[in-house]
Amino acid sequence: MDSEAIADRGKIIGEEFIQLGNVDKYLKDKNLFKFFCGKTIVFVKVLADDIIRLVMKPYETPSLDTTKGVIFDGDTCVECTSCELDNKVIIKTGILEVHIGKFPFHMEIYGPDGDSFFKTHDSYSLGWSERRTSCRIAIRDEEHFYGLGEKCGWLDKRGENVSMWNTDMFDPHNQHTKELYVSIPFYIGLSKGKSYGLLLDNPSRTHFNMGEGQDEYAYLETEAGKFDFYVIYGPQIKRVVSRYTDLTGKMHLPPMWSLGYQQEKYSYATEEEVRYIAGNFRKRGIPCDTIYIDIHHMDDYRCFTWNYHRFPDPEKLIADLKEDGFHSIITVNPGVKKDPEYEHYIDGMKRGYFCKKLDGSVFVGKVWPGDSVYPDFSKAEVRKWWSEKHKIITDKGIEGIWNDMNEPSVFRPVKNGSLEDHTMDLDVMHENDGNPATHRELHNLYGLLMVMSTYDGLKESLKGKRPFILSRSGYPGIQRYAAVWTGDNRSFWEHLSMGIPMLLNMGLSGMPFVGNDLGGYMGNSNGELFTRWVQFGVFAPFFRTCYSINLLPQEPWSYGEKYERIVKDFIRLRYRLLAHIYNLFYEASVTGIPVMRPLVLEYQDDPEVYNVSDEFLLGNSILVAPICKPDSEYREIYLPDGIWYDFYTGERHIGGKYMLGYAPIDRIPLFVKQGSIIPMIDCQSYVGEKKLTSLELEIYPGAECEYVLYEDDGETFAYEQGEYSITNFNCRIDGNNLLFEVSPEKSDYRNTRERYLLKFRCIQKSSKVVKVNGEIIAEKKSAGGADCNNFWYFDENEKAIYVQISDSKTKTDHVFLEF
Ligand code: MIG
């Protein structure tokens, strides 16, 4: 596009854009640069060697405050230099060069390889109209875009035009749905194997036009507030995600039980129904850890109350469920019933804690309880007040909270079809701890602020146990406190397949703990669809079935014996994988790298995977290719570089090409990469049911093979005091020999393990001899019987060698196989 065409884009929508002008002068104060452009001042801050922040507000000196989404203010000792050359100011960090062009202001950033990776338009970098501020960023050659949080459509967002406005979207989600419950104004650009990320920290409605209908510029726009963004250098996508989560925070380790299977219906509405459902899981031997009690648990939808007609003795119910291995979770919504006889309404009104208009009137909106008022979570005092109420819930034995409707959602007749009608009035004035701002400016933050309050409340009252929170709404940083599910999907095959790239992009947007409602929330599911969805869910971080009111039952046994058996087997597989999945969560809590990964995260130099939206990796070793079509047993699968083994048959495949996968209804295509080790624990009906004495390791030997296993108690914060253990597993092939090592690195968490069962897979012939620490161990004819001694045997059919060794806990053990 030529410059005129670009300038015209503003005019198309009837708005005159004013461009940021020339730099009159600039000042440097350590790592902060101030550019004076007429009345407008632009701040450029070197936050770290690889992160550059830019802040601007038309005609003002913008504040450098951040939203609650951002928790990192920069490295304290970051060093940078600057000089002037021609018409530019050149800022050098440890690795980047930031060039600020002066006539008019524009910005270009070069990586350590000397290549420019970020560039605004030379003449139209930043501009504004009465309604919006915008920035034009050059799209690089063959650039692909990822991230952008919870969005419909394919993995690669190139050519998409989406906006960010937390919305309770009950209509079926599809590619026209630009706004859902969560807003993450962050994208990753990948061009020719090199990536960078950009976070636009602005909680008003923002727009991300990633090159719709043209290939030259991405347009970022904000509707209120200042223009405040961070550019994060990669070039690895993993590095971008990791640095993005340094900016916005990593997740805490979740309680292990929250990684098990979860079951919800809106609503299991009576004590009897809840007991019936829970009892059925146990009776049928289907593992389950969590049961939800949705909004019907409340007295006429009043938060922090109980409906004693439906649930006569909640303490007893919750205690009995716990006895049976279930954790109960209840819904807490932000809308507080306007009822002068209801204590929390009275209390909040007296304190002035509900959202008000400028004239002092309290905003009233309709939700489940009828006329409702909304706590102003932008005030620390209000968050504290609300958090303290959670004791009412935890005193009943509840350990998890589900924050729903926190966009916040307000029911109202749709006027001119505008989506804002779904939330509170835009001129509500949030007190915002002394920086009052309208709802229009802060909307996308509301859910996060509520969840912060919930987290503090739960953490405080659970006395050392890890809280579990599920949130529907969110903003960057939500991962610090909550898991997020993708709201009211439908029982459509299309929504099974759309859920995959949605979750993958949420993972790339810093949220590792994500999932879809399995089987679909609205509409009646069926046996085949439900089964395929659960098979997928086993490998998704958050594993929950959830369905709406007035529908046919959607529990694992709802579709007859055949589907029940398959679904049960797959839920059991999830429980076998829990140590591995927990390990991936540990990794996410340290590095920010998601549990469920798009292929492009691990293979960013392979153009074939740039838009793979129907396959993913669990960690880096298990490739999952869900079946997302009815009546289908075959599908195309792309295996990236490497050797891959079919999980079921052990068949060997050479990657870097396409293949036809075969998966009858009792399978989902699964491949394990050569060189992987996967820990598998005994199946349990719920986390903590059994004392686990043996850990099985599935080993797919390759040249390099290693695994670092993190373990802790899975439920408290003792790990923060160092109570955890780290064990390294290594496997090497050396000519005709195979060497395996277990080496404990840190053993401050005492587990109950007594032995390991090593399962070397894809072995063609039996070993001549197996030695443990130099001593020959006995060969057995089969693995049957509970033998506590060291032994080995070769399973001809499975093509696997099993070796059982005792866990010596503190010293390194060597296993030697000779072929
Ligand atoms: O619109 O609490 O997305 O999961 O079951 C209904 C009742 C309100 C919406 C949630 C859904 C939940 C339901 N809620």
Residue 501 tokens read as: 């790239």
Q: Compute the radius of gyration of the chain from its Cα atoms.
A: 28
CA 318, 471, 686, 288 torsion-angle sign = positive
Predicted pLDDT of residue 413: 75
* Ligand 1 mean position, distance from CA 164 (Å): 21
* Ligand 1 mean position, distance from CA 479 (Å): 21
Residue 541 tokens read as: 């971080």
Q: For ligand 1, is residue 293 a contact (CB within 6 Å)?
A: no
Question: Ligand 1, from 405, 409, 422, 471: best to mutate by most atoms within 8 Å of Cβ?
Answer: 405
Predicted pLDDT of residue 781: 84
340: how many CB neighbours lie within 10 A of its CB? 7
Average pLDDT over residues 808-818: 95
- Answer with the residue of higher pLDDT: 75 or 72: 72
4: how many CB neighbours lie within 10 A of its CB? 7
Q: For ligand 1, is residue 449 a contact (CB within 6 Å)?
A: no
pLDDT beyond 50 at 382: yes
Q: For ligand 1, is residue 295 a contact (CB within 6 Å)?
A: yes
Q: Counting atoms of ligand 1 from 1, which one is nearest the CA of 266?
A: 5
Predicted pLDDT of residue 48: 97
Q: Counting atoms of ligand 1 from 1, which one is nearest the CA of 517?
A: 4
**Contact yes or no for 336/299 (Cβ under 8 A):** no
Q: How confident is the model at residue 77 (pLDDT cuts 50, 70, 90)?
A: confident
**Contact yes or no for 592/244 (Cβ under 8 A):** yes
Q: What is the pLDDT of residues 461-481, one digit of tens each?
A: 999 999 999 999 999 999 999
Q: Counting atoms of ligand 1 from 1, which one is nearest the CA of 264?
A: 5
Q: What is the C-alpha separation between 516 and 69, in angstroms, rounded?
A: 24
Three-state SS sequence of 333-370: CCCEECCCCCHHHHHHHHHCCECECCCCCECCEEECCE
DSSP assignment, residue 391?
A: H
Q: Residue 43's closest CA among 66, 25, 61?
A: 61
Ramachandran region of residue 559, left (φ > 0), alpha (ψ -120 to 50) or beta?
alpha
Predicted pLDDT of residue 12: 46
Average pLDDT over residues 717-724: 98
Q: What is the C-alpha separation between 602 and 605, in angstroms, rounded?
A: 9
Element (H, E) at 440: helix 439-442
pLDDT > 70: percent of the chain: 97
Predicted pLDDT of residue 10: 47
| DSSP class per residue in 44-92 | EEEEETTEEEEEE-TTS-------TT------TT---EEEEETTEEEEE
Q: What is the pLDDT of residues 585-618, one digit of tens each?
A: 999 999 999 999 999 999 999 999 999 999 999 9
- Answer with the residue of higher pLDDT: 74 or 429: 429
Q: 128-137, 416-425, 730-739, 796-805 — which is least confidently predicted?
A: 416-425
Question: Ligand 1, from 167, 182, 266, 307: best to mutate by most atoms within 8 Å of Cβ?
Answer: 266
* Ligand 1 mean position, distance from CA 264 (Å): 10
Average pLDDT over residues 310-336: 98
Element (H, E) at 276: helix 271-284
Average pLDDT over residues 277-289: 98
Q: What is the pLDDT of residues 85-117, one digit of tens each?
A: 999 999 999 999 999 999 999 999 999 999 999
What are the phi and psi torsion angles at 805 (to 5°)? Answer: -135, 155
Q: What is the pLDDT of residues 673-686, one digit of tens each?
A: 999 999 999 999 99
Residue with tokens 């960078």: 196
Calculate the CA 21 to chain-centre distance: 40
Does the global pTM surpass 0.95? yes
Q: Which residues are catalytically annotated?
A: 404, 407, 488
Q: For ligand 1, is residue 487 a contact (CB within 6 Å)?
A: yes
Q: How confident is the model at residue 5 (pLDDT cuts 50, 70, 90)?
A: low
**How many Cα atoms within 13 Å fall on the side-chain side of residue 11?**
5
Q: What is the C-alpha separation between 335 and 317, in angstroms, rounded?
A: 26
Calculate the CA 522 to chain-centre distance: 23
Q: Residue 448's closest CA among 164, 739, 207, 759?
A: 164
Which residues lie below 8 Å from residue 257, measured CB to CB, with a gap of 6+? 289, 290, 327, 468, 686, 687, 688, 714, 715
* Ligand 1 mean position, distance from CA 737 (Å): 57
Q: What is the C-alpha separation between 437 and 444, in angstroms, rounded?
A: 13
Indicate the average pLDDT of the chain.
Answer: 96
pLDDT beyond 60 at 170: yes
pLDDT > 90: percent of the chain: 94
Q: How far is CA 218 from CA 15, 58, 119, 162, 224, in A?
A: 19, 20, 11, 11, 19
Average pLDDT over residues 629-633: 98
pLDDT beyond 90 at 153: yes
* Ligand 1 mean position, distance from CA 576 (Å): 31
Q: For ligand 1, is residue 331 a contact (CB within 6 Å)?
A: yes
| Closest Cα to atom 13 of ligand 1 | 266
Q: What is the pLDDT of residues 329-351, one digit of tens each?
A: 999 999 999 999 999 999 999 99
Q: Residue 400's closest CA among 459, 447, 319, 313?
A: 459
DSSP assignment, residue 562?
A: H
Predicted pLDDT of residue 234: 98
Q: What is the C-alpha separation between 523 and 532, in angstroms, rounded?
A: 16
Element (H, E) at 188: strand 186-191
- Cα 778–Cα 782–Cα 787 angle in degrees, nearest 5: 60
Residue 108 tokens read as: 């270009």
**Contact yes or no for 234/196 (Cβ under 8 A):** yes
Q: Residue 564's closest CA among 327, 280, 293?
A: 280
Q: What is the pLDDT of residues 702-714, one digit of tens each?
A: 988 999 999 999 9
Question: Ligand 1, from 404, 485, 550: best to mutate by most atoms within 8 Å of Cβ?
Answer: 404
Q: Counting atoms of ligand 1 from 1, which one is nearest the CA of 521?
A: 4
